[in-house]
Amino acid sequence: MRRLALATAILALISGSAHAADTASPAAQAQALEIAKRAIAFRTVTGPGNQTPQLAAYLKSVLVAGGFADADISITPVDDTAYLIARWRGSDAKLKPLVISGHIDVVEAKPADWQRDPFTPVVENGYLYGRGATDMKLDAALAMAALLQLKKDGYTPRRDIVLEFSGDEETAMKTSALIAEQLKDADIVLNIDGGGGALDETTGKPLYWTWNGAEKTYADFELTVTNPGGHSSAPRKDNAIVQLSRALDRIGAYQFKPEVSDLTRTYFATAAKYEQPAIAAAMKAFAANPEDKAAIATLTADPGFIGKIGTTCVATMVNGGHALNALPQRASANINCRIFPGHQPAAIMAELEKVAADPAVKFKNVTEGAVPNDASPMRADFVAAVQAAMGKIHPGVPVFPSMASGASDSMWFRYHKVPSYGASPVFIKGSDDFSHGLNERTPVNNVAPAITYYLSLFRALSK
């Protein structure tokens, strides 16, 4: 009987350990929320007073306290910011590492415009409020809490797990490029700043979850018109501001040819099942025929979809003239483009020059902190791993790929031919998406399932 009791106790311990490794522990949940709140309180905005280095130091202290070796964590200053790389060494040094990628800088937030101070985290009515609650300090905290729970549970990965946080993803991406250069030997990159789930606006129930296998290339083109100018009392036909305005008007009215990739076709065909009838019909029609004019018109009119159907270019800044009573000697504007995978910036700029149709308008590629990148392959091991992980927290919720309309650190890894996938497990309603906007917030009921998801995903891809 004593042997039977002992055996039963051992089995219970084994079962308990396995269960602990499979689901988010109460301690991990509390730790994730604490890390997120502490992180939001650091004003990690580029420029004077940037506290990104201080936040990196805090995160390092948490990792060391959780079992990471101090020598395996580096913080590297770059200008007014810094980046962090932490390595959890696996049992087989010959294997390429799994990289978990994110960023800890945020966009500016003016306290006077917010209902609450953006850098004073608040949990209220089921939401975590603060700059970075969505993009992406909560995700950083969730991933850290999952890694620390794995360490506490005694897990040993076969391949190294590298956690890295860039410090200027929202601006120049200098740290992003440096990190990717250092980690270009990675087997795969999980970008926790991409992907995500949609909730029903009425019921709050999960509708579907998408992972990002591609994103559009970022580009800035400067348009300039110059002439001798003169006195405003003697107007001339070649007014620099007028010429530039005409070119901008033509560009503003222009639409690049809509197109689909294998990834976006899958997205439109699948996501259509969960959209309102008019949008759903347009998505299905566009997936079947990207030249369907009615479908294009419907999707183009929706800010949530226009970025997914092809290249977009839009005027974002303009400058001209030097005196109120003088003809402008110079007028310039910036055109920001998000280029569909498979196209090079030079070709897009040439197309815009044809649209402007005025040789007096000079074009220059002034892009900084961006490189062209193609879609990552749909790797079977990644797809299986995210489907299994999502199935543990939201059984039956559809999982399918998508393309990000914006740019992230993934582009630097894809530039080095490293497969990179946006894979955040956070679910929100469309009406709650205040990323980069006022009163940014994320539902805190994401914490437990997100950690459980990360536990599964990190295990599966570090074998």
Tokens of 383: 């797809």
Q: Is the pLDDT of residue 91 over 90?
A: yes
For the chain, which domains are there? 23-194+408-461 (3.40.630.10), 217-365 (3.30.70.360)
User: Would the CA dihedral through 415, 142, 444, 176 be positive or negative?
Assistant: negative
Q: Give the residue ranges of DSSP H helices in 153-239.
A: 174-182
Mean pLDDT to the nearest integer, 289-296:
98
Strands 161-166 and 98-103: parallel
Average pLDDT, the chain: 94
Q: What is the pLDDT of residues 138-173, one digit of tens each?
A: 999 999 999 999 999 999 999 999 999 999 999 999
Per-residue pLDDT at 12: 38
Of 5-19, 255-269, 276-290, 406-420, the one with minimum mean pLDDT is: 5-19
Per-residue pLDDT at 437: 84
Q: Is the distance from CB of 149 to CB of 17 less than 8 angstroms?
A: no
Per-residue pLDDT at 11: 36
Residue 301 CA to residue 317 CA, distance in Å, equals: 23
> Please, which pLDDT band fits residue 302 given cuts at 50, 70 and 90?
very high
Mean pLDDT to the nearest integer, 355-380:
95
Residues sharing a CB contact under 8 Å with residue 293, sequence separation 6 or more, in sequence order: none
Q: What percent of the chain has pLDDT over 70?
A: 95
Q: What is the pLDDT of residues 212-235, one digit of tens each?
A: 999 999 999 999 999 999 999 999
Per-residue pLDDT at 269: 95
Asked if residue 136 has a cis previous peptide bond (ω within 30° of 0), the answer is yes
> Please, which pLDDT band fits residue 436 given cuts at 50, 70 and 90?
confident
Per-residue pLDDT at 143: 99
Q: Is the pLDDT of residue 321 over 80?
A: yes
pTM of the model: 0.88
Instruction: Using alpha carbons, list the distances in angstroms from residue 277 to 204, 205, 281, 316, 346.
Output: 19, 19, 6, 33, 39
* E strands, 276-394, in order: 312-320, 326-327, 330-339, 362-365
> Please, which pLDDT band fits residue 21 given cuts at 50, 70 and 90?
low
Mean pLDDT to the nearest integer, 253-275:
95
